[in-house]
Every structure is written in structure tokens, then in C-alpha cells.
Amino acid sequence: MSVDSTETVLRGSVMVLLQFDVCEAIRLDRLQELVSARTVQQPNMKHPAPGYVRYQRPPVVVPLEPLVLESGETLHGEIKYYDYGVLSVVFELAFADGWSKLTALASRWVWDVDFAAQATAIVRASMQRAASALIKPYKEWLSEDYLIFHIREITGTPSVGELIQQNGSRIAQVVRGDTAQLAESECNEVLQSRISYYANDLAVIGWNAAFLYDSTSGAETAIQLLEYANSQLLEFRHYDEMLTAELERVYTLLDKGTGIFARWRLARSATRLHTVLLDVAELTEHADNAIKFLSDMFSARLYKLAALKVGVPDYKDLVTKKVTTAEELYRFMVDQFNQSRAFFLELTVVVILVVELIYLFKGKPF
């Protein structure tokens, strides 16, 4: 039996994820001493597989005061502290209405509401309270925002196939944040990024929003993985900017010349560059190991799709290429310094021999 979309009621919630890369690391044990907080519980998997997703160090969660928008909507929120230096502000609004209201809300929240400005003020206040738990805070922050439209119930309880057939274009509008009717090719492009485990659950993932059709417990893992993928994007953006700045500094130094005396200055620059490379390697490993996928292949596939759509592999490739370039520059600078040092030592030996010969010919002992 088909469901009339004009009578369809969707029940669920809309979540806004706003993430900030604020410091190199956060001491979660110290943080819990400073603020009233809890740690994120491990997600309950929707299927009875023996594998599960487990945080290596679960983030610390602190509740926030409700946020009231100019439209009158009241959002409940919380802030999550990840040990690798990312703060995640999460706002949630309950939703119970039709498709047209959902697409209108998606468009307004994607394009018109400045959640980032309000979240920034919250993060600054939170950092003041947690200052002693933050390791090497940054002066400037990178940020990412993402919307999750989680629908628990739909009138008629359609299967995934029925939902796609009857309302696939509306789902594409929600994910794109567009109220206009999208072209069939664009709808197909959006719906290609979908994944399901059962016949009655669905995740459609876009670069700035996702549509989830699942129970509360079933969607828990997807929400955490979407949040984690966006936090990893932040980390790799940070590494990319760090390496870009360091490489520009090295290129400027090399442009000044590689004469004998200039080469001596390369030693300090090579040491600094090597330190940056070690920091990037350590922080990358830290972020990569934040979540462990143990036997749960569906969660691993879901994370891979989420990371791909938000752009994690692209920035990771950029970082990898710049690391390779930095390593080559490091070896070059070390070689240049070693050549200068060898030349200086040879020159010193020659000078000593010349002085000895002068004293020898004058008949005076050296």
C-alpha cells in the first residue's frame, strides 16, 4: 500500500554538529575534575554481530543550557571534549511534521541560521573553565558544521525500498538543503551515498548533512561515526595548514641562498621541520586510533562512506604529500649542513697545516 506524502508525518529530531579544533590535546581525566561531566557510552549495535565500535578514549560530555533561536525554536545541547583537541557542540530539536516542513527547515538551517557564531561563544566560555586540561591551545580555531536529520518513525512504516521510491527526491532535497525540485541526476547522485543494514533502516550521507531513518538506538552508531568523521576532517585540515606554513618558511629560507654560511642556518631549520613531522605523525596516529573497529564491518563501511563524503581522504592525501615533501626537504637540508660542516672541518685542518708550515720554515716551534 503506497503512502500519500501529503499525509505523511515524520517523527524524529534534527541535530546540529559544530566542531572546533582548539588545542593539541585535552587531558580528559583532568577535565572531569574541573567540570561536571560524563563520558560517552559505547554505542549499542543494532545487529547481534560480535564486533562493535569502541572509543580508545571516550569523549567527555557536558550538558548545555537550551538555545532559543530567533524563530522561537528551542534546542537542547551538549558539548563533547575529545582527547585529541576537538570540541564538539551538539544541538538537537525534536521534529514531528511533514516532508515540506522538513525540507524548509533543512534549507533554513543550512543557509540562514548562523549556528557557528553562537557555538563559538559557548566554546570560549568552556575553554576558560577547562583551561588547565588543555595542552597547547591554539590562537585561531578551525571549525566544521554538519546537520543530521534523524527520522525514527514515518506514517505507514515504509521499507527502505518504498521510502526511496516514494520520497527519494525529498530526501535529496533535505540532504542538499534545497527547497526547489532537484534534477533526477542530482537526486541519483545524492542517493548513491546511501547504506542500509536492515530493510527498514537507511543512512543517506552528504558533504554537509545526512538523513537517517532508524530507531533511536539504531541511529546511535551512525551519529557517532558522522561526528567522528567530521572531527577527523578538522584534524587533517589542521595538519595541512601546519605543514603549509612550515614548508613556506623553509622555501623562503632556501631562496635566500645555500652558500657556506647560509647552510649553517639550515641545521636549526631542519631540526624544527623534523619536530613538525614528528608532531604530525603522532597527532595523526592519535586521531586515527581514537575509534577502533573490531569485527563490525558494517560500521567500518559506514564510517568509510561518511569520511569520503565529508572529505577526510582528500585532506589526508594532501597531508601525506606534504609530509613526503617535508621529508625530502629535511634530508636535503641535513645534507647541505653536513657538506658545510665537512668543508669547515677540512678548511680548519688546512689552516692548521699552513700555520705549522709557516712556523716550521721560520725555525720556530709551533
Q: Which residues contact 266 (CB under 8 A, 6 or more apart)?
A: 253, 258, 333, 334, 336, 337, 340
Q: Does residue 192 share a domain with residue 153?
A: yes
Residue 38 has pLDDT above 70, yes or no: no
Rounded to 5 degrees, φ, ψ at 2 are -80, 155
* pLDDT confidence of residue 320: 83
Please give the average per-residue pLDDT across 11-39, as a whole number: 88
Residue 26 lies in a domain: yes
Same domain, 208 and 257: no
- Look at 192 and 262; give whichever has higher pLDDT: 192
Q: CB–CB of 107/177 below 8 Å?
A: yes
pLDDT category of residue 255 using cuts at 50, 70 and 90: confident
pLDDT digits (tens, 9 = 90+) for 177-215: 999 999 999 999 999 999 999 999 999 999 999 999 999
Domain tally for the chain?
2
Segments forming the whole domain that contains residue 21: 10-229
Same domain, 78 and 217: yes
Higher pLDDT, 327 or 337: 327
Q: Do residues 83 and 28 make contact, with C-beta atoms less than 8 angstroms apart?
A: yes
Decide which of 297 and 273 is more confident: 297
**Whole-angstrom Cα distance, residue 59 to residue 25?**
12
204 and 292 both lie in a single domain:
no
In this prediction, residue 233 has a pLDDT band, given cuts at 50, 70 and 90, of very high
In tens, the pLDDT along 46-70 reads 554 434 566 778 889 999 999 999 8
Q: 253 in a domain, yes or no? A: yes
Domain stop point among 212, 229, 246: 229
Write the CB contacts of 39 (distance below 8 Å, at least 6 apart in sequence). 28, 32, 58, 59, 60, 61
Is 18 within a domain? yes
Last residue of a domain, one of 165, 199, 229: 229
CA distance 210 to 133: 33
Report the run of H or E that residue 150 belongs to, with start and end. Answer: strand 134-154
* pTM > 0.95: no
Which pLDDT band, with edges at 50, 70 and 90, does 254 fall under?
A: confident
For the CA atoms of 333, 339, 340, 342, the dihedral, rounded to the nearest 10 degrees, stands at 140
Residues 86 and 164 in one domain: yes
Q: To the nearest whole number, what is the mean pLDDT of the chain? A: 84
Residue 5 covered by a domain: no
pLDDT the model gives residue 3: 40
Q: Pick the closest to residue 115 from 85, 154, 146 (CA basis).
A: 146
Q: What is the rounded CA–CA span in Å between residue 7 and residue 97?
A: 10
Higher pLDDT: 281 or 136? It is: 136
Q: Is the pLDDT of residue 293 over 80?
A: no
Are both 70 and 86 inside the same structural domain? yes
For residue 330, what pLDDT is reported?
72
- Judgement on whether residues 252 and 133 belong to the same structural domain of the protein: no
Residues 348 and 270 reside in one and the same domain: yes
Of residues 105 and 52, which shows the higher confidence score?
A: 105
- pLDDT for the residue 51: 46
Q: What percent of the chain stands above pLDDT 90?
A: 47
